[in-house]
Each structure stands twice: as structure tokens, then as C-alpha cells.
Amino acid sequence: MIAVWVLLLFVALSLVAWWLLFDDARARVVAHLARWTRAVDARAGQGWSRTATVAHASTRLISAGTSAWLRVVHHYRWWLLGATLLTSVPPLVILVLRQRVQLDSYDATLVAAVDDRILELLRGERLAPPPPLPPDVFLAAEAELIPGAPATVDGTSTERIAPERIVTADRRWERIHPDFQQRVLALYRVMEEQYGYRMVLVEGFRSAQRQAELAAKGAGVTRAGAGQSCHQYGMAVDSALYRDGKLQWDMRDPWVRRGYFLYGELAQQVGLEWGGSWRSIKDYVHLEWKAPCRDARRAARASAG
């Protein structure tokens, strides 16, 4: 419905621009109005002569004022046209090219399309983090990765599956922003209870020093330098599917691929950004709370001077 109103506004503005910019068009419209006025006068009869005289006088006054106004508008016609295009074209393009428009302050937890179970969990008591896995699980997962090679689906893709340096990553839930933590825990609960996928935290908070070290490895690992990643504000997590005592990274496995895409879909429904939706590096394990994270970065820059 919004698109229809925007389209009607665009058509109306186009007609106004046509009227203002083309003298012939304006003359034709005025001529049609004059003929219509004469036809009305001819039918009015003697009884309406006085009324017609008054109407003619009023029409002449209005016409004189309108002509002066039109001269001013015609003088600034290009400025007006430019302003019209700047205000009407961008929203029309957005509505045409995107099926879903979401503002930064938009809270997706309020929409009806969100999973009912996730909403129920977020409205209820605070969820407790699960007990940590044995360190051997992460040691084994890191040992399976080829040293120095990007953890990708194949040798050439940019689909990141396993985070870097799993063993030394921070997995303390208390260092994650409380509200963001609850959203992630609700996702974990729904993934396991309703879909049979167990999720585990691989990395939560990340120090600026660790971020700088990862950034030094190149854009294939991360494009965010120190102070730029949401991990440093407790508003990002890297999670993994867990099955048969092992972290699951292999996106060639249909079960694994379906799990990560389901995880991303549910996360987006509760207002989180999923790394698997990025156009450059596909980071399927990554979730972040984008708008609050951006505010935290701005506040950090402001306090730094």
C-alpha cells in the first residue's frame, strides 16, 4: 500500500513539473479552462449575469495573482525540479528494489512473523547460560583445521565457517551484553527444542588486542580493526553446531548447512544481524546486535577524544 501512495505522489509531482517547465502545456491547460468558463457563462442566462460579473472579476484577480506566482516558480523551475527528484526518487527506488525496509531503530522482536517460542522466552524469566563444554572439544576442533588456511567450504570460497584461534577465544557469558545474551540464549533454546540443533558458544567478548591480531591476518579473516568489531562491546558472538561430541563446520553436510541457515533466519527475526547474509565474507557462525553496537562504537570514539 505504501508503494502505491509513493507511486501516486511521483505521478502528481511529474504532472506539476510538466505544468511548470513546458509553456505550451501550460497554455493548453489555460485555454481549456477558458473555454470551459465561457461555456458555463453561456448557459448561465440572464438571471446569473450579476453573479457571473462578480465571478469574472474574482477570476481576473485570481488569474493575475496566479500568473505572478507562476512567473516566480518558472524562474526557479530547475531548483524545484531538483528538490522534487531528491525527495521522491530515493524512497521510490528503495521500495521497488527491496522487499523489506528496516530502519536502524526498528525492533524486529515486535513483528508478528517472529517465532512465537522466541518471543515467549524473551518475555519470561531470564535464561541461564548452559554449562561450558570441556576444553578438549575446542582443542580437537582447532586441530582439525589446516594451519594457515582459511576455514572455508572449499579452497576458493569466502564462506567462513570456523573462527580463528578457537582455543584461546573468550567464552564467558557474563562478558556479553545482558540483553543481547538473552536473545542468543533464546535462539539456542529454540534451535534445540524445536529443531534438534544444539548450539554452543565459540567466542563472545574479544579484546581490542585480539581483534588487531586477527585483522593483521588479512581481509579473509576479518575486515574489522581494533575498536570496530561488535565483539569488543559484548554485542557479537560466534556459535557452532554441536553433534556427536564435535563442533560441526562442514557446510557440505546438508544437516549442517540447514542448521546454520535456520539459525541465521531465526536470528534475523529477533533483530540480530547474521554473518551468513553478508555479501563479502560469509560468516555463518557470527551474530551481532548491529544498532546498539554502532551506538557503542560512537560513544567509544567520542570518549576517546
Does 145 have pLDDT greater than 70?
A: yes
| Phi, psi values for residue 202, rounded to 5° | -100, -40
Alpha-carbon Rg for the chain in angstroms: 31
Cα angle 231, 196, 160 (rounded to 5 degrees) comes to: 35
Residue 240 burial (10 A CB sphere; 0-12, 13-18, 19+): buried
- Residues 81-89: contacts with CB within 8 Å, 24+ apart? 81/17, 81/20, 81/21, 84/13, 84/16, 84/17, 88/6, 88/9, 88/10, 88/13, 89/10
Query: Given this model, what pLDDT does residue 87 score?
Result: 74
**d(Cα 248, Cα 260) in Å, to the nearest integer?**
10
Cα angle 209, 215, 219 (rounded to 5 degrees) comes to: 170
**Residue 113 to residues 102, 107, 124, 151, 265, Cα–Cα distance (Å):** 14, 12, 19, 33, 11
Q: Which of 231, 227, 236 has its CA nearest to residue 303?
A: 227
**d(Cα 58, Cα 218) in Å, to the nearest integer?**
76
Q: Distance of alpha carbon 124 from its chain centroid, rounded?
A: 28
Query: Given this model, what pLDDT does residue 148 score?
Result: 44
Query: What is the rounded average pLDDT of the residues 286-299?
Result: 91
Cross-strand pairs, 159: 282
Beta strands 159-160; 282-283: pairing state? parallel
Percent of the chain's residues with pLDDT above 90: 31
Stretch(es) of the chain classified as CATH 3.30.1380.10: 108-304
Q: Decide if domain 108-304 falls under CATH 3.40.640.10.
A: no
> What single-letter DSSP state applies at residue 125?
S
pLDDT band per the 50, 70, 90 thresholds, residue 225: low
Amino acid at 116: D
Percent of the chain's residues with pLDDT above 70: 57
Query: What is the rounded average pLDDT of the residues 15-24?
Result: 63
Query: What is the rounded average pLDDT of the residues 73-77?
Result: 68
Query: Please, what is the average pLDDT of the chain?
Result: 75
pLDDT band per the 50, 70, 90 thresholds, residue 78: confident
- What is this structure's pTM? 0.59
**d(Cα 33, Cα 232) in Å, to the nearest integer?**
68
- DSSP line for 173-240: GGGS-HHHHHHHHHHHHHHHHHH--EEEEEE----HHHHHHHHTT-TTT-S--TTTSGGGGT-EEEEE
| Lowest mean pLDDT segment, chosen from 47-51, 132-136, 279-283 | 47-51
Amino acid at 123: R
Query: Given this model, what pLDDT does residue 69 score?
Result: 62
| Lowest mean pLDDT segment, chosen from 45-49, 63-67, 265-269 | 45-49
